[in-house]
Amino acid sequence: MPKPRLDAVGVTSSDLKKSVAFYTLLGFEFAAIAPDDRHIEPITDDGQVRLMIDDHELAQSLIGEAPVPPNHAMFAMLCASPAQVDMVAGQVASAGFTVIKQPWDAFWGQRYATVADPDRYLVDLFAPL
C-alpha cells in the first residue's frame, strides 16, 4: 500500500478576491471567481501540491469554530534565485501587502523572506544562495 503524500495546503480567507491578488503575486494562477464561491484553488498540474482557500464561513462550518491564522509560516515557496526572492517580496510590499521579514541571507545558505497574506497567514520565500 502506498504511503500518504502531501496533496494540499489549506488557508482561510475573509476576502477571496484579496487572497487571489496576493497569491497571484506568488506565482499562482486562478480561474475567475464566482460571487457565490466559498472554496477556490489555483490551477495546478497533476502531481503538484494544491493550495486550497476556503472562506471563513465555510471553514467555520467545517471545523466548528472561527478559523485563526497561525503565527508562523505554514508553507514556503521555492524561488528560482535570490533575486527572485527580493523581487517577489518587493511586489508583495508594492501591492500593499505585508512583508514580515525582509529578504536576508540566512545562515543555512538561503535567501529568505516572510510575507503575510491578507488574513495574516505567513508564507516563506526562499532560494539557495
pLDDT 10s digits, 15-40: 999 999 999 999 999 999 999 999 99
pTM of the model: 0.92
What is the end-to-end Cα distance of the chain in Å, rounded? 39
- Start and end residues for every CATH 3.10.180.10 domain found in the chain: 8-63, 73-128
Q: What number is the average pLDDT over the span 56-75?
A: 91
Backbone φ, ψ for residue 87 (5° rounding): -65, -50
Domain at 8-63, CATH class? alpha beta
DSSP 88: H
Edge-to-edge order in the sheet of strand 110-116: 73-78, 122-128, 110-116, 98-105
Residue appearing with cell numbers 482557500: 53
Give me the CATH code for the 73-128 domain, please.
3.10.180.10
